[in-house]
Structures are given as C-alpha cells and as structure tokens.
Amino acid sequence: MKSNGITNTVYETIQRDGFAGPFDTGIPRERMAQAASYVDDVLFERRPNPLYGRFSVRDYHLVNRGLLEILSCEAIVSRAAQILDENLLMWRSKIFCKPPGEGPLGWHQEWGAFNGEEIGNDRPALRPTAKRAELPWNLTVWVALDDVDADMGPVRFARRSHHRRFPIAMEPLVQSEFFLDPFLGIDTVEELVRRARSNALVLDIDTALYFDTIDPARMSLEEARAHVIGRLQTEKGAVTLGFDPAEHEIVSVPMPAGSFVMFYERTMHGSSANNSQRRRLGINARFTPSDTTVYAFRADSRPIDGSNLDVSQHACVLVGGKNLNHANRVIGRDELLARLD
C-alpha cells in the first residue's frame, strides 16, 4: 500500500473511518445517463441475467461495456490499488435501485467471506491468503448513476465501526435487515406471479414454486401478496445484534451522478428511506487482491454461491497488476472491453 499524494489521504481516511469519499469518477454525465438507461431496461424487463440464467442484478460489468468502463475507471482503480494491493481483481458488482417510497435498508456489515449468511447460506465466495487473514481483503465502491439527494435514501455509514464484528441472528426473512417491499410497482396478480415464477420477485430467493399448489387466477392482488409473505416467513434472513446507531457517528453520503464512495464491507452501513419522488440508482463493485481465491467451488459439481446463483460462468476482471492466483478464472480488463465492443 503505497503512499503518494491524495491516495495516501484516502488510505488513511478509510483506515480510520471505514469509508472515504465521495470522489468524482471524471466520467461525463451523458455517459452516466447512458449507463442508467441500460440499467433501467434490465430492471424493467426483469430478464434473466445472461451469466446466471435467472433474474439477478449481479455482475453486469461482465455484460455491458459502459458499466465496466465506469467501475474500472482510473479514479476508482488507482485508489483501490493504494488501499488494497496493486495486483487487483474486480470480482463482483451489483445494481441498487431504491424506488420512491421504499423504506430503509437495515444496518449490516460483511466480514469478508460473502457466504450468503444474510439469507441463511454458507458458501464462502472469497478465501484470502494466510498473510491477509487478519486484514480486510475486500473493498467496495458504490457509484451513483443518478444524482442522489439527501431525501433519496443515500448510503450511510457508522464511522469507525469496522473494528468490531457485530453478531447476527437468523429470523424470518421479512423481519431481517435486508428485506425490502417486493411488491412496489406490481399492480396485477399476473405480474406478481410472473415475477415469482421467474425468480424475479425477491432477490436471491427461489420463489418459482410459490404458486404451484394454488390457482392464482382465483386470488385478488391482496391475497396473492399475503400468500407470498406467508411463504417468505419460512425463509431466513440476518438481523444485526448489539448495534445502536445512537452510539455511533452516522454519516449519510448524498452525491451527484458519477461520484463514488469507498468502504470496507466491515463498516456498518445501510441506507435511509427514499422519501423523494425519484428513484435512486447506483451500482457497486467489489475488489480483492489477486492472490485471493474467488469462488473455490466454481468448477465443482454444485457451483452455487451464497446468493443461490450458478457461478460456473463467472470471471474476475484483472484491473491492475498481475494475476497471482491461477485457480481463479480471470480476464484482463482490456480483453473484456474488446469482447464487449
């Protein structure tokens, strides 16, 4: 972790506070708007993700050139390399859309395995080398595709909370930190059932069989919603224990389109409700040193990760330095950009 100029300040800030930013990607607003339009289409159509064969908001940087260019831009990668390592992989991305009226995303942290414990799974996505086992080996970058005002539910952090691991308990999913209203924008039984059967209703949860034993044509929209909630009561989700926001300095991070904030996933974070009339659109990217093993089970007979996705087609993107772990499936940034032309 080298130190020169502004990036040294960023390193010191994130070590102290657990997050740093916002910073400017330097990408023109029209390109951010093009990326936002593409993401809007993905979300509206709820089409299967070409990598995973089902609806997912993960890893569209492997599919869309514009998103890859944004998430691997110099402003992001140079800082990430200073914080983590010059040999750097982008191993995951995820789209975040908070529509008008959506409630807060609860306080949570991730200690580095990304094993799906938030929905009751245990399939570690990352395995660091022994020399890094006591250090953060994942860095997350959250990029605003739209202007994010204070009333739109911006990302928020508990400053300096990354030094303590808070315990979790597993409760019914509808009571968890991660549960968000799945019915926003659904006005008909037919649309609700279509999303359920295509696993496009609740992220990472298999809902395809929820209506197989009943006739939804005989149900009202309210009855169909109640049926889904009843089924979701049997799914598990994480609830954070022992964390009191009043005991921490809470920092909310509104930012203009094209800006980003960086944080250790160990930092307690979440978002407030979107009380505006505009949707809040963003995308994150996760980075790890290239000696980390990513999806050790990818070539197994059951290549299913903690989010219930088949990762056999997944690849990491080398955005800096050299690939130091040949057990990973890795593609260079420039090679991937050429493929996406």
pLDDT per residue as tens digits for the range 238-288? 899 999 999 999 999 999 999 999 999 999 999 999 999 999 999 999 999
Is the torsion defined by CA of 255, 162, 296, 202 positive or negative? negative
Q: Which residue has the higher pLDDT, 173 or 73?
A: 73
Residue 119 is predicted with a pLDDT of 86
In the chain, pLDDT over 70 holds for what percent of residues? 98
Residue 185 reports pLDDT greater than 90: no
Residue 132 is predicted with a pLDDT of 87
Residue 115 reports pLDDT greater than 50: yes
| For range 290-316, the mean pLDDT | 95
Residue 337 is predicted with a pLDDT of 97
Q: Which residue has the higher pLDDT, 93 or 111?
A: 93
Residue 2 reports pLDDT greater than 50: no
Helix (H), strand (E) counts: the chain: 7, 15
Residue 131: how many CB atoms within 10 A of its CB? 9
Residues 167, 107: contact at Cβ < 8 Å? Answer: no
Residue 38 is predicted with a pLDDT of 97
Query: Strands, E, within the chain: which ranges?
Result: 19-24, 88-98, 105-108, 126-127, 139-144, 155-158, 168-172, 236-240, 250-252, 259-264, 269-271, 280-289, 293-294, 316-320, 330-332
Domains and CATH numbers, the chain: 5-162+253-339 (2.60.120.620), 167-241 (no CATH)
Residue 235 reports pLDDT greater than 70: yes
Residue 47 is predicted with a pLDDT of 87
- Helix or strand or coil: residue 69? helix
Residue 7 is predicted with a pLDDT of 55
* Summary mean pLDDT of the chain: 94
Q: Using DSSP bridges, classify how beta strands 330-332 and 139-144 pair: parallel, antiparallel or unpaired.
A: unpaired
User: What percent helix, strand, coil does the chain show, rounded to 5?
Assistant: 30, 25, 50
Work out the burial of residue 63: count CB atoms within 10 Å of its CB; fewer than 13 is exposed, 13-18 middle, 19 or more buried: middle
Residue 126 reports pLDDT greater than 80: yes
Residues 180 and 97: their CA atoms lie apart, in Å, by 11
Residues 63 and 65: their CA atoms lie apart, in Å, by 7
Residue 341 reports pLDDT greater than 80: no
Q: Which two tokens stand for residue 316?
A: 């990491």
Per residue in 64-83, pLDDT (tens digit) is: 999 999 999 999 999 999 99
Residues 13, 20: contact at Cβ < 8 Å? Answer: yes
Residues contacting residue 258 through CB under 8 Å, at least 6 positions apart = 24, 25, 26, 27, 28, 29, 32, 143, 144
Residue 6 reports pLDDT greater than 70: no
Residue 4 is predicted with a pLDDT of 43
Residue 5 reports pLDDT greater than 60: no
Residue with tokens 């990973």: 328
Q: Which residue has the higher pLDDT, 145 or 173?
A: 145
Instruction: Kindly report which listed range (13-22, 124-133, 252-261, 313-322) carries the lowest average pLDDT score.
Output: 124-133
Confidence of residue 3 (pLDDT cuts 50, 70, 90): very low
Give the C-alpha distances (Å, rounded to integers) separating 41 from 34, 35, 44, 57.
Answer: 11, 10, 5, 12
Residue 198 reports pLDDT greater than 70: yes
Residue 35 reports pLDDT greater than 90: yes
